[in-house]
Amino acid sequence: MTNTDIIKALEKQFQNLEFDEETTAFLNITVSPENYLDVMTALRQMDFDYLFSMTGMDWGAELGVTNHLENTKTGMMVVVKVKLSNRENPEVPTLENIWKTAHLHEREIFDLFGINFKGHSVMKRLLLTEDWEGYPMRKDWQDETKMIIR
């Protein structure tokens, strides 16, 4: 399977996907929050069996999640990004039912960025205490008592 094969297969099923393979070694796919779970399920059905990285992102106006997937049979990798414009209540469906590795990744992203993963089995803080206020990896987060200002 090539990047072109993946693009054609996804374009048959979904609209409004963005693809970029020019500026990186991986095929980058940007999906809407509404298509996120369905696109990820389709990629799992294409034998992308390993979610090896899931990262929370703060792009300024938008929060989001970047996923790195690998087909361990072929070594092919793709990157899937979902951008969330609602900074007050950012949420996407959980992927823990597709890839078990998503469980802790999603809890960490929730803890540090405040992105809620709907349907997650244990959506609570992972690293910080339950009484911690805010999300320290967001660009707009400020807490003068915990920040080093030079």
- Residues 122 and 107: beta-carbon distance below 8 Å: yes
The DSSP code for 121 is T
Q: Kind and range of the H or E element at 6? A: helix 3-13
Q: What is the pLDDT of residues 7-34, one digit of tens each?
A: 999 999 999 999 998 777 789 999 999 9
Model pTM greater than 0.85?
Answer: yes
Residue that is written with structure tokens 């008592």 in the block: 145
Q: Is the pLDDT of residue 149 over 70?
A: no
Structural tokens at position 99: 């890839």
> What value does the mean pLDDT take over residues 25-51?
96
Q: Show the domains of the chain with their CATH numbers.
A: 3-118 (3.30.460.80)
